[in-house]
Amino acid sequence: MSVDNLVNKALKRIGAVHPVIKQGAEEIIRRAYKQGIYVLFSDGYRSHAEQNALYAQGRTKPGNIVTNAKGGQSLHNYGLALDMFITNKEGTTATWPTNKLREVAQIAKSLGFEWGGDWTSFKDYPHIQMTGGLTLSQLQTGQKPNIKLKNVSQSTSSTSNKTNSKSIAKMAQEVIDGKHGNGHEARRKSLGISKAEYEKVRKEVNAITSGKKKKPTTTKTVQQMANEVKKGLHGNGHETRRKSLGISKSEYEKVRKLVNAGIHPSSSKSVSQMAKEVIAGKHGRGHENRRKSLGIDNATYQKVRAEVNKRA
C-alpha cells in the first residue's frame, strides 16, 4: 500500500478530530513510512454518546469494562487524542510492539504530541495527545486549545494545503455513512474542504436522503460484503449496515445469511493476537459478534476473552 493510501485509510478512522491533530496524524504516518514503519490509528474523535456507550459496557450493558471515562471525560471527546497500532505495508494487520510504538512516539513527540508511554501511573503506549496546556476541566467548560505542530512545513502534509480529491457524491456518501462525525463544521473539517465545497456536499446529502437521488449500487459480491460486515467495517445494527453497504433489503438478507453461517475458516491467529484485535475494537461489540468476526469456536473465544480481561 502506498503511503497516500495508508494516510487515507487512517484519516477515515479518526473522524472529526481537531485539524491540527489530523495534520499531525498524517505527518506521523509519512515520517514513519520513510523509516519502514507502517502505522495506523484505531481511534480518534469519539462523541459523548459513543463514550457513554463504552462506559456502560460491563456496567449496565453486556461485555467487559473497557473505560473509566464517561462522555466528556476523555480527550477523544474533544478530538485531541489518537490511539495507534502497527500494521503491515498492506494495512491489514494490527500489532502493538512496544519498540515500534516507541519509535513512532518519538516522531509524534517531535511534532509536539504527548505520549502515554511516558506516563508514570499508567503507561498507555498506543496513546498520543495534544492539549495546548488545557486541563480536562477547562475543555469541559468550552475552552478551545491553541495547538500547532512543531518542526513541520506547510507543504509536507496534504491535509493543510490540498483540496480533497474525492467527488461530491463520494464525500456525501461518506457523510451519510457517518464517517465524518456529527455537525456541519466538524464534518467539513474532517473532509478537509472549504465552506463553499461543503455546501455542495450538504446539498448532495439532502438529495440522497430525501430520495431525489438513488444511492449507487455496490459492485461487491455478497461474500465480499459479508466479510466486511464481519470485520466491523459497516457498524452495528442491520439497517445501519445495509445503508452503509448501499444495497436493498433483499440483497442485505443474502449478506446476513452468509455472516450468520460463518463464512471464513477458523482463525490461524494466536490467542494473544486475537485479544489485541478485540481490545482495538476490530471485531465490534458483544461476545457472539466478536466470536463470529474472529471465526472461532466458543472454547477458543473463551481463551481470547480471558486474555482480554487480563489486559483490560
Say whether both 118 and 202 belong to one domain: no
Say whether both 180 and 292 belong to one domain: no
Inside any domain, residue 268: yes
Inside any domain, residue 291: yes
Inside any domain, residue 106: yes
Inside any domain, residue 20: yes
Mean model confidence pLDDT for the chain:
83
Say whether both 17 and 118 belong to one domain: yes
Tell me the three cell numbers of residue 244. Answer: 452503509
Say whether both 291 and 250 belong to one domain: yes
Domain that holds residue 278: 222-311
Q: State the total domains in the chain.
A: 3
pLDDT in tens, 297-306: 777 888 888 8
Inside any domain, residue 171: yes
Say whether both 102 and 193 belong to one domain: no
Question: Phi first, then psi: what are they for 83, rounded to 5°?
Answer: -115, 125
Say whether both 296 and 231 belong to one domain: yes
Contact in structure between 115 and 108 (CB atoms under 8 Å) = yes
Most confident among 107-111, 265-269, 272-276, 279-283 (mean pLDDT)? 107-111
Say whether both 96 and 171 belong to one domain: no
pLDDT in tens, 95-135: 999 999 999 999 999 999 999 999 887 788 999 999 999 99
Instruction: List, as one string, the DSSP characters of 251-286.
Output: HHHHHHHHHHH--SPPP-S-HHHHHHHHHTTTT-SS
Q: CATH number of the domain that 147 lies in? A: 3.30.1380.10
Can you tell me the distance from the alpha carbon of 46 to that of 55, in angstroms, rounded to the nearest whole number? 12
For residue 89, pLDDT beyond 60 = yes
- Predicted confidence band of residue 156 (pLDDT cuts 50, 70, 90): very low
